[in-house]
């Protein structure tokens, strides 16, 4: 898309951000309407042009300075988008956000989710305009939002994220009882923060004590996104500290939302052993992640995913767990779908390798891997540092 924008639209990209690409495509499409003051129909036509040129998952909010605010969502509804309203001094105000919790915090009432392929435009007079711009595809929201990304107090496509995670814990407990009805688990301990909801419900259904065994340093970011394996290893130890009395002499079941690279869970299992745990079992509220994400999540290359090309037993041995339990994909889908029976599909490509847009092939995934692997990111970071150093040198020379 960057090359296409440069060659056909004569637009230069300053960053690697997908948002900048979307913004430039929309700006180009709007400029083609040749209107000094764009009308709602011009804006919707421009969004239709974006949908024709862009494939994948996206949700965007655009300020058109002096005219209004626009929000639009990809034709499959992969990424979430919602809008709400509130009354202020007798006038109706509107707000667009990716999560409903943002509306709650500002006193807005949810109107509804933006439909797949739909655009919502609020002009400077406060008038609301909506239109489905183009032919919607199969509505398939990203299920990883419910597993990990979304806040538990959000509603997405009318599904409570909190309740979906409770149901994940319930179904995981049913699998534990199915596989090992005579298990010897003494205590269930979550890996903070996202897995707490699922872990609590899992413990309730197993009739086992739930305890907080790890204290989290809130100033460390999400480790699977960090570039470089050494940085991730270092960050895990800085991120979590074990409470020894919750582990000593016990068979513990650690619960996490998912396992991506395996860096975090391997170190956490060792931390549990160092704290005195007799046996360490590990449960993932999501199935094994075996494929890369191409719809907006900065997930590692396939070769860096711990479960890619491996059996569950091989992953179990690699992370050092005495027993590894993954959620079944059918149970994960059911846990989310129960909140909205009208939803028939979810985007689950990281688990099953089935990409909803139908245009992702091996060649594309190979190019993506070359761009996303750790060595590529490291080279990119070095290049960025070099540019900054050259800029400083130039400034000093000019001085």
Give domain status of residue 107, yes or no: yes
Domain residues for the domain of 309 are 162-220+234-333
What is the pLDDT at residue 279? 98
Distance CA 149, CA 163 (A): 15
Q: Is the pLDDT of residue 96 over 70?
A: yes
Does one domain contain both 258 and 130? no
Q: Are residues 323 and 184 in the same domain?
A: yes
Its pTM stands at 0.86
Q: What is the mean pLDDT of residues 175-189?
A: 97
Residues 176 and 52 in one domain: no
Q: Report the share of the chain in percent with pLDDT over 90.
A: 74
- Same domain for 186 and 57, yes or no, is no
Give me the pLDDT at residue 296, please.
Answer: 87
Could you please report the per-residue DSSP string of 36-100?
Answer: SS--HHHHHHHHHHHHHH--S--EEEEEETTTEEEEEE-TT--S--EEEEEEETTEEEEEEESSH
Same domain, 111 and 17: yes
Give the per-residue pLDDT at 11: 78
- The pLDDT, as a whole number, for residue 376 is 61
Do both 180 and 298 map to the same domain? yes
Distance CA 19, CA 2 (A): 12
Final residue of a structural domain among 315, 333, 351: 333
Domain count, the chain: 2
- The predicted model gives 232-257 an average pLDDT of 88
Could you say which of 281, 307, 333 is where a domain stops? 333
**Average pLDDT score, the chain:** 90
Q: Is the same domain home to 172 and 113?
A: no
Domain membership of residue 225 (yes or no) is no
- pLDDT, position 378: 66
Domain membership of residue 58 (yes or no) is yes
For the ranges 126-130, 276-280, 384-388, which has the lowest average pLDDT?
A: 384-388
CATH number of the domain that 281 lies in?
A: 3.40.50.2020
What CATH number is associated with residue 77? 3.60.20.10
Domain membership of residue 73 (yes or no) is yes
Average pLDDT over residues 321-329: 98
50 and 134 housed in the same domain: yes
Positive/negative CA dihedral, 12, 16, 18, 23? negative
- Within a domain: 269: yes
Query: For the residues 209-237, what does the mean pLDDT come to?
Result: 69
41-75 residue pLDDT tens: 999 999 999 999 999 999 999 999 999 999 999 99
Rg (alpha carbons) of the chain, rounded to whole number: 23
Last residue of a domain, one of 304, 333, 362: 333
56 is written with which tokens?
């994948």
User: Three-state SS across 94-133?
Assistant: EEEECCHHHHHHCCCEEEEECCCCEEEEEECCCCEEEEEC
pLDDT of residue 286: 98
Q: What is the mean pLDDT of residues 182-196?
A: 96
Q: What is the mean pLDDT of residues 239-247?
A: 95
Residue range 141-148: average pLDDT? 96
Average pLDDT score over residue span 255-269: 95
Residue 213, in any domain of the structure: yes
**Whether residue 130 is found in the same domain as residue 176:** no
In a domain, 144, yes or no: no
Of 109-113, 234-238, 366-370, give the range with the top mean pLDDT: 109-113
CA 162/CA 274 separation, integer angstroms: 32
The Cα 351–Cα 99 span in angstroms is 24
Do 129 and 58 lie in a common domain?
yes
Contacts 24+ apart (CB under 8 A), 47-50: 47/72, 47/119, 47/133, 47/134, 48/133, 48/134, 49/25, 50/22, 50/25, 50/26
Q: Specify if 120 maps to a domain.
A: yes
Residues 192 and 315 in one domain: yes
Mean pLDDT of 369-388: 64
Question: Are 134 and 169 found together in one domain?
Answer: no
Average pLDDT over residues 28-49: 94
Average pLDDT over every residue of 161-168: 98
With 80 as the cut, is the pLDDT of residue 399 above it? no
Reduced to 3 states, what is the DSSP secondary structure of residue 9? coil
């Amino acid at each position: 898309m960057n090359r296409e924008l440069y060659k056909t639209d004569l637009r230069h990209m300053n960053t690697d951000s997908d948002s900048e690409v979307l913004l430039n495509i929309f700006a180009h499409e709007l400029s083609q309407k040749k209107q000094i003051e764009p009308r709602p129909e011009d804006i919707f036509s421009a969004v239709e042009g974006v949908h024709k040129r862009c494939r994948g998952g996206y949700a965007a909010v655009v300020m058109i300075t002096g005219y209004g605010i626009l929000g639009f969502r990809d034709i499959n509804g992969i990424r979430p988008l919602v809008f709400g309203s509130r009354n202020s001094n007798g006038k109706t105000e509107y707000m667009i956000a990716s999560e409903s919790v943002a509306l709650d915090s500002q006193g807005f009432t949810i109107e509804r989710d933006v439909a797949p392929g739909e655009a919502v435009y609020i002009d400077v007079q406060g008038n609301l305009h909506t239109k489905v711009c183009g032919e919607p595809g199969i509505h398939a929201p990203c299920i990883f939002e419910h597993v990990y990304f979304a806040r538990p107090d959000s509603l997405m496509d009318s599904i409570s994220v909190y309740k979906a995670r409770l149901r994940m814990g319930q179904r995981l407990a049913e699998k534990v009882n199915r596989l090992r009805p005579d298990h010897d688990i003494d205590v269930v301990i979550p890996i903070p923060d996202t897995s707490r909801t699922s872990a609590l419900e899992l413990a309730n259904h197993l009739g086992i004590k739930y305890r907080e065994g790890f204290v989290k340093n809130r100033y460390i970011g999400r480790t699977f996104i960090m570039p470089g394996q050494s940085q991730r290893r270092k960050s895990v130890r800085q991120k979590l500290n074990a409470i020894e009395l919750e582990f000593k002499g016990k068979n513990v079941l650690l619960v996490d939302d998912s396992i991506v690279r395996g860096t975090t869970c391997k170190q956490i299992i060792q931390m549990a052993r160092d704290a005195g745990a007799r046996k360490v079992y590990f449960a993932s509220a999501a199935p094994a992640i075996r494929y890369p994400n191409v719809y907006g999540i900065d997930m590692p290359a396939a070769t860096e995913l711990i479960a890619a090309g491996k059996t569950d037993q091989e992953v179990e041995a690699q992370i050092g767990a005495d027993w590894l339990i993954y959620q079944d994909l059918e149970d994960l889908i059911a846990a989310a779908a129960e909140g909205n029976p009208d939803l028939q599909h979810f985007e689950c490509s990281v688990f099953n390798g089935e990409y909803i847009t139908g245009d992702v092939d091996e060649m594309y995934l190979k190019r993506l891997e070359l761009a996303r692997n750790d060595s590529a990111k490291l080279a990119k970071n070095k290049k960025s540092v070099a540019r900054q150093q050259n800029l400083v040198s130039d400034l000093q020379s000019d001085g």
